[in-house]
Amino acid sequence: MLTLKNIVTYYGNICALKGVSLDVKQGEIVTIIGGNGAGKTTTLKTICGLVPATSGEIFFLDKDITNKPTSDIVESGIVMVPEGRRVFPRMSVLENLQLGAYLNKNRPEIKNDLEKVFDMFPILKDRIKQIAGTLSGGEQQMLAIGRALMARPKLLLLDEPSMGLAPKIVTNIFNIISEINRTGTTILLVEQNARMALSIANKGFVIETGNIVLEDTAKNLLRNEEVKKAYLGE
Amino acid sequence: MQILTVIIINSILAVSLNLISGYTGQLSLGHATFMGLGAYAATLFTLKLQTPFLVSIVLGAVVAAFFGFVIGVPTLRLRGDYLAIATLGFGEITKNVLLNLKITGGPMGLRGIPKVTNVYVAAAALIFVIFSLGRIINSRVGKSFIAIREDELAAEAMGINTTRFKILAFIIGAFYAGLAGGLYAFLFRYINPKDFGFMRSIEILCMVVLGGMGNTYGAVLGATIITILPEFLRSVSPAIAQYRMVLYGLLLVIMMIVKPRGIIGESSLSNKKPKKLLEKGGA
């Protein structure tokens, strides 16, 4: 579904990705794990066209989307939930969700999607009028995911959804991610919380300083000695 | 009556800058430049081509909007401080070009402009501006502007083409400012590049900040206060009136500390009943 071939990305003079290749198959949950500054977020941003790739190619559903404008990429079905949630802080929950459906002009469809999001996150329905900046961290993460779902993604990119959340809420969020996947959305998940990410993923990539150093099924990675030592704290 | 007309023209300026800075969140320090371009263009159309008043001011606004596009394309890739400095530079360039061109009368400016603007014309223009702006703000385009202000990265990730909408905000804001410039020229009957310098840009920004960023009526209120203030001071004591710029500065400092969102503050977008919006469906 999504294929990255030798993607190189620079921030000014700094080379953040040194030839990343990975692929995501339809219906899977794929995770990219790695430490700070390894290039996880940059990989997602490059996929969405928020950061230009210097070289390499990105294919989505057999179409070349390398360095296309973000709005075109979103329209083709890749939607990102940015790191740190990034809800529109002074807008209400409803307005945030409506902006998620920005590219959809079909009103009955939007209404229907809104109901689906509220079924998935009942708390958002209770807070429909509340200003997003006043929600708790977990609620903001739910809103950010809900907002992305309003864009009807075929492939959902999640950037550190567990960041700054209480363990109980993290479990809750990961259950929801699995549920979204079961309804047919492919997921590419970037996480520092490697154990959590690998527990729900089909496949994992380990990234270190801009290079993919390991790729395997999630089950194998959980048993891998190096991964255990470096990322699972065993 | 003259002062009321000036208040209305300043209101148009404040409301138009408010679209760029208040709603879209892009700090521009060159708004008077668009006013000046509108004023010069409208005047030249009338003086050289004898176009009727209405045609002249609309053409003036179109010229200003065109320059809004020209300046917007390269600079709106910049963010925050960088954009502010770029708009500042653009203002200085324009002022110097106006000072040195023959057709603009150089430092002598342009005189002999017929007096056509009156309070009714200005009020009609303000009503047009506020009405059309209201329509824009409540549309999909307006939501995009506000989303850019709230979080540019998130807006982009939702599929909003942020550069295009920032340029659009600049074009619309410049159009209205150009309109105000035309009205200004046909009110005072004399224009000079110094009328549209940096200080004027700052004055317009003061109106917006004072009244309330992101609130159209706040901008009108801010324009009213900033326009009346020097007149009021003059009637109290001409000596104090000389220090009006000091007072603006002080006013801004106090506002930032006491009420950073302005007198009226931002109009909440959430006033609308959510039930109704839900029934309607989307944005």
B79 interfaces chain A, CB cutoff of 8 Å = no
Interface pTM, i.e. ipTM: 0.88
B272 interfaces chain A, CB cutoff of 8 Å = no
Asked if residue B179 has pLDDT above 50, the reply is yes
Render the burial of B187-209: b for 16+ CB within 10 Å, e for the rest.
bbeebbbebbbeebbbbbbbbbb
Distance separating the N- and C-terminal Cα atoms of chain A: 34
Angstrom distance (rounded) from CA B107 to CA B214: 36
C-alpha radius of gyration, chain A, whole number: 17
As a residue count, chain A comes to: 234
B-chain residues within 8 Å CB-CB of A69? 161
Angstrom distance (rounded) from CA A149 to CA A80: 10
Tokens of A175: 């259950």
B-chain residues within 8 Å CB-CB of A159? none
Asked if residue B275 has pLDDT above 60, the reply is no
B276 interfaces chain A, CB cutoff of 8 Å = no
Closest to A12 in 3D by CA, of A45, A54, A46, A40: A54
Q: Which residue in the set A48, A70, A88 is minimally distant from B150, CB to CB?
A: A88
A-chain residues within 8 Å CB-CB of B147? 88, 91, 99, 102
Higher pLDDT, B135 or B79: B135
Domains of chain A: 2-231 (3.40.50.300)
Q: What is the 3 state secondary structure string of chain B?
A: CHHHHHHHHHHHHHHHHHHHHHHCCCCCCCHHHHHHHHHHHHHHHHHHHCCCHHHHHHHHHHHHHHHHHHHHHHHCCCCCHHHHHHHHHHHHHHHHHHHHCCCCCHHHCECCCCCCCCHHHHHHHHHHHHHHHHHHHCCHHHHHHHHHHHCHHHHHHCCCCHHHHHHHHHHHHHHHHHHHHHHHHHHHCCECHHHHCHHHHHHHHHHHHHHCCCCHHHHHHHHHHHHHHHHHHHHHCHHHHCCHHHHHHHHHHHHHHHCCCCCCCCCCHHHCCHHHHHHHCCC
Cβ contact A90–B159 (<8 Å): no
Output the tens digit of pLDDT for each of chain A's 234 residues.
999 999 999 998 899 999 999 999 999 999 999 988 899 999 999 999 999 999 999 999 999 999 999 999 999 999 999 998 899 999 999 999 999 999 988 889 999 999 999 999 999 999 999 999 999 999 999 999 999 999 999 999 999 999 889 999 999 999 999 999 999 999 999 998 899 999 999 999 999 999 999 999 999 999 988 888 888 877
Angstrom distance (rounded) from CA A29 to CA A147: 19
Q: In what order do the strands lie in the sheet with A55-60?
A: A14-24, A2-11, A55-60, A63-64
Closest to B176 in 3D by CA, of B210, B126, B223: B126
SS3 A207: strand
Structure confidence at residue B279 (pLDDT):
44
Angstrom distance (rounded) from CA A124 to CA A94: 9
The set of residues, in sequence order, having a beta carbon less than 8 Å from that of A107 and lying 6+ positions away, is B280, B281, B282
